[in-house]
Structures are given as structure tokens and as C-alpha cells.
Amino acid sequence: MPDFTAEAALALTRYRSETLQYAPRLGLLDLREWICEFLAEEGIKASPAEIIVVNGAKHGLDLACKLFLNDGDCVAVTAPTYFTGIPIFRSHGLSFLQVPQDAEGISIDFLHREIKLRRRNGQPIPKMIYDIPDFHNPTGITMSPDRRRQLVAFANQFDVVIVEDSPYRKIRFGGPTFPPLKALDDSGRVVYLGTFAKLLAPGLRIGWVVSTAESVARIAQLKSDGGSCPLTQRIVFEYCSAGKLSQHLDRVSVEYHKHRDIMVAELREKLPQASFRVPDGGYYLWIGLPGIVDADRFAEAATAKGVEIISGTRFYADRNIAYPENRIPGSDHIRLAFSFASPTQIKDGIGRLAEIFHQPH
């Protein structure tokens, strides 16, 4: 965890009249300008008027749904998808189109087939596609460059909004870097969600949305909180603009890289039945277990033994989806996080999971 004491002292003295008053509705201009530079390194061209600071990426997702969708609309999500997003979509009364992924990312072929089918049957086609192209949560998949271009082309063809959620892109251990969807977008239909939660600390509750200036202005109207907290914005800006973020990310990436390698080695040794991809970054391993295991029960048993894992079933937007052997979707998968646990905790945790697995079930 980074040390923000110097930044907080500065924020509460030199910038006191800024940090204790209402912030500008789009967020502090200094911070939005810094975000523009940060995004420019990724090939995303955005001006401060195209960025609004929000209380974390989830808040940005909620606002994007509020702006672009209506009750009864359909959103396309990967199967599996980021589980915290699911209740947000539900709270907007959306239905789901669950789209499979392969090693290159979300299946555009499936999307095309499904759209054709839905049009023929007079069913609604998705108005939004939500995805995490870099180090996907939970699968760890990074979308290939071709797939990225196909996805943006698909969205253009069928007039769909893409929400690109990008919390993990900078937590990279290796592998090639591909342009964000937003960098491939000429039409303004990609809405980009960024956050300092995974870059610095979840507790700061500072994220941002990149969209057109017009959409950003409308999101500002829908944002009922009178501007995000200027104190934490100032702390983040002072930290980042002093060059400390890149040092922090270097440290964190080296550390999490080690954690990933330890978790992978432990799994291969103690639980060789587990199947998984080794992701080039992010926080998670998405583990397939032989179909004899019920992931919900497995996760309960792990929790009882003090190991925090999440059952794969929680990552499916709903159960109306074909799944091998007619099982409940995700019931043969679990998600493990290698990020926050220490090497000792990781070794100990995998050991306990192996014990549970080898008990009669």
C-alpha cells in the first residue's frame, strides 16, 4: 500500500479551500489533465471535457447504464463476467446476452449469429457490450488485436455502445501490449472505465469515465453526488504527478508476478487436476476443476478453512446458457486471487484447497 501522508498534508494545507469545498462536477481539472496524459501513453486521445471523475469504476458502470440504457434493454456480457457488475446491470432492469470467449477474447462470430437470430425472431438486440479486454476478470484472457478491431467494427455496424472496463491493464507481468478499444474508436461509441482502485488503493474511491464531451456532460447531470471527493482527488493527483505512480506500479507488478508464479507452481504440484491459463497480468487465476466437484460447496469448504475463493457460478449473469454436461454454469470453476495474499498465505491456501479436493466428495 502506498504512503499518501505527504500528499494528504499538502492537500489539507496548501489546497484546503479546494479540497474542503465542492469539487467541479467533472472532477479536478489537474487530475483530468493528468489522466489525459496517462491515457495518451496508451494511444487514447481524450481532452479533459471528455473525462468525468467518479467514485470508482463500478460507479462509472452504473452511470453508463443510466445514460445509455432503459429498463428492458439487453446488455451483452462475456460468460463468465465480472460478478460485481451483474447486480448493477440487474438494477437497471436489463436482460443479458451471454457471449463465450476463446483464447483471443469475446466471440464476434457468436455475436453475429445471435444478432441474426434475434432479428429473425423479433427479439431485442444488445444495446451495450461490456467487456474487460486486458487481463479479463475472472478468466485472465487478453483480447487479441484482431478481435479488438472486429469488436469495434461490430459495434459500429449494429450501433452498440461498448463499455471497456480497464482496471488491470497496468498490472502487467509480460506479453505484448495491444491498443485499448477506446484507441480504436473513431465514432465515440466506446466508453472507457478507469480506476485508481487497482493502480493505487481501492479505498480512494476514485475512478473515471472517458466518453464524448456530450455524454460526459450528461453523465455529470445524472451524477447525484455533487462532485466526487476533491480531497482524495488532490491526493491522487499529487502522488501521480510526482512520478510516484509508475514506481508503485513497477513494485506491484514485480510483486504480483512473483505471487502468480508461486500460485501456479503450488497448483501444479499439489492440485494437478486443476486446469487454467497463466495470465500475463491482473489479479486472478480462473481454475477449472474436474466436473465431479461442485464449486459452490468447494468454496464454502474453503471459506470454512479460512481460504477466500469465489465459486465460478457467481460469474455468470444468469443460468440461461448452454453449459457442458447440462451443469449449472461455472459450477466446475473457481476464481483465485494471487494479488493481496502473501507467498506464505498462497502456499498455505493452495495446500488447504488440495486437502479439500482430496476429501471424498
Q: What residues line the site for a copy of itself (CB under 8 A)?
A: 1-5, 8-9, 11-13, 16-23, 55-56, 58-59, 61-62, 66, 71, 84, 87-88, 91, 200-205, 221-222, 224-232
Q: Would you say 202 or 291 has its CB closer to a copy of itself?
A: 202
Q: Would you say 66 or 258 has its CB closer to a copy of itself?
A: 66
DSSP code, position 184: G
Helix (H, G, I), strand (E, B) or coil at 237: helix
DSSP code, position 41: T
Rounded to the nearest whole angstrom, what is the least distance from the CB of residue 13 to a copy of itself in the complex?
6
Rounded to the nearest whole angstrom, what is the least distance from the CB of residue 231 to a copy of itself in the complex?
6
Helix (H, G, I), strand (E, B) or coil at 197: coil
Q: What phi and psi, each to the nearest 5 degrees, are found at residue 63?
A: -70, -35
Rounded to the nearest whole angstrom, what is the least distance from the CB of residue 162 to a copy of itself in the complex?
20
Q: Would you say 59 or 148 has its CB closer to a copy of itself?
A: 59
Task: Report the chain's C-alpha Rg in angstroms.
Answer: 21
Q: Would you say 61 or 111 has its CB closer to a copy of itself?
A: 61
Catalogue the E-assigned strands of the chain: 51-54, 74-78, 95-99, 101-102, 105-106, 128-131, 161-165, 190-195, 207-210, 284-288, 310-311, 333-337
Q: Would you say 205 or 352 has its CB closer to a copy of itself?
A: 205
Rounded to the nearest whole angstrom, what is the least distance from the CB of residue 44 to a copy of itself in the complex?
24
Write the CA distances from 136 to 79, 162, 187, 281, 322, integer angstroms: 11, 15, 24, 9, 21
Rounded to the nearest whole angstrom, what is the least distance from the CB of residue 90 to a copy of itself in the complex?
10
Rounded to the nearest whole angstrom, what is the least distance from the CB of residue 42 to a copy of itself in the complex?
24
Q: Are strands 128-131 and 161-165 parallel, antiparallel or unpaired?
A: parallel
Q: Would you say 58 or 148 has its CB closer to a copy of itself?
A: 58
Give the orientation angle of helix 230-241 with respect to helix 5-13, to 10 degrees: 120
Q: Residue with C-alpha cell 431485442? A: 124
